[in-house]
Amino acid sequence: MDIIEIRHYLHQHPELSGQETNTMQTIADFLKPLKPDILETHVAGCNGLTAVFYGENRNKSVAFRADIDALPIEEDADLQYKSYNKGVAHKCGHDGHTAILLDFARKIAFKSRPFNIILLFQPEEETGYGAKKMLQSETLRRLKPDAIFGLHNIPGAPLGDIVIKYDTFAAASTGFIIKLHGRQAHAAYPETGINPGMAVAEIIAETQKIHSEATVFRQTTLIYTRIGEIAFGTSAGDAEIMLTLRSFTNAGMKELIKTVENIAAEKAKKYNLRVGFDFKDSFNALENNDRYVDIIKSSAEKLNYGVDIITEPFRWSEDFADYLLQYNGAFFGIGSGVDHAGLHHPDYDFPDEIITVGSSMFEEICKLFYD
């Protein structure tokens, strides 16, 4: 089957994070005839797969990762291979990333290899849980890779250009929930209760100030607030504030969380409230190893691809970050076209032209890795 047909098949059958069972099966069916030495499915109880093609030196391994999950977005694009799954679509191009890794598998399967090549097909990227689960795979625990590489398509960058960023590639982010508990009272006698309203107002004002006054990038985006219940006879007794925090470094994220926690704790104390914190959808900063970014850059130059070296990290997050907390490696982008619809937009579709750009890059990275 043509690799573009595979991409279109994946596009027609998108599955949400945590539900990628058919996608896993499709990938396994494609890989089996390529006779990988190891094919591990249902990695750590999730829908992840690893495939290993052994090399002459069994003590050296390089890993490549693709994410495989889709998004809860209704497809707007008028495509021949439109999503069959209502309300779910591949709007981040993970169908394309999967096709790239499958194409790469086909290229290396029946050639001699100087070292082991590990392919990671990772589910649950959009929710930030997948990489952590893949890191528990038998394969990675046994064959600790000497390096790991991954990529993402980048709308807005010229089609087929390799987008390179030294140091941080993508930001750390986390959903941060502040819960304030006071006491309800009759609305006619609010002074007999503890209303969290003033604390909420001050916490919002001060956390937004962090963002506007920051000299290094620190973002505190207000997402949601709730104070009390819709009942005009009752003075509010509790409240919730939800923020999304972002930083370009993991150390910066730790500091930012501490700062927001301190503000909330101080206001809670001032207004006699109890306070609790919760986190959701947390991603580490994707901090590249520069030596491996150089390998990516040389590979792109060898292949005569355009190279865009960017200086500002992407503000979005990528759970590939978790692999780089354990292994050396780097992540890069491939341009999806300057006027291409953005990631997560209803009319976005992965450009098929860059499938071979991605698989050729992985091949070239392999060649350069031990030069």
Choose between 89 and 92: whose C-beta lies nearer to Zn ion.
92
Number of Cβ within a 10 Å radius of residue 305: 18
Q: Please tell me the distance from the alpha carbon of residue 199 to that of residue 204, in angstroms, as a whole number.
A: 8
Q: What is the nearest approach in angstroms of Zn ion to the Cβ of residue 106?
A: 23
Q: What is the nearest approach in angstroms of Zn ion to the Cβ of residue 97?
A: 7
DSSP-derived 3-state class of residue 243? strand
Q: Determine the size of the site formed for Zn ion (CB under 5 A).
A: 1
Q: Looking at beta carbons, which residue is closest to Zn ion?
A: 92
Q: What is the nearest approach in angstroms of Zn ion to the Cβ of residue 73?
A: 10
Q: CB–CB of 142/116 below 8 Å? A: no
Choose between 92 and 286: whose C-beta lies nearer to Zn ion.
92
Judging by DSSP bridges, how do beta strands 147-154 and 168-170 pair with one another?
unpaired
Choose between 89 and 263: whose C-beta lies nearer to Zn ion.
89
Q: Give, in degrees to the nearest 5, the angle at Cα 117 between 112 and 121.
A: 135
DSSP-derived 3-state class of residue 124? coil
Q: What is the nearest approach in angstroms of Zn ion to the Cβ of residue 155?
A: 11
Q: What is the nearest approach in angstroms of Zn ion to the Cβ of residue 94?
A: 6
Partnered with residue 62 across adjacent β-strands are 117, 147
Q: Diameter of the chain by CA atoms?
A: 81
Among all chains, which residue has been given the structure tokens 């070239």? 364
Choose between 71 and 268: whose C-beta lies nearer to Zn ion.
71
Choose between 46 and 92: whose C-beta lies nearer to Zn ion.
92
Alpha carbon 16 to its chain centroid, in Å, reads 14
Q: What is the nearest approach in angstroms of Zn ion to the Cβ of residue 50?
A: 20
Q: CB–CB of 307/300 below 8 Å? A: yes
Over the window 66 to 105, marking each residue x when it contacts Zn ion by CB under 5 A and - when it does not, the resulting string is: --------------------------x-------------
Choose between 11 and 179: whose C-beta lies nearer to Zn ion.
11
Q: What is the nearest approach in angstroms of Zn ion to the Cβ of residue 319?
A: 9
Choose between 92 and 140: whose C-beta lies nearer to Zn ion.
92
DSSP string, 155-219: TTSPTTPEEE-SSEEE-EEEEEEEEEE-B-EETT-GGGSB--HHHHHHHHHHHHHHHHH-SS-EE
- Give the residues lining the site for Zn ion (CB under 5 A): 92
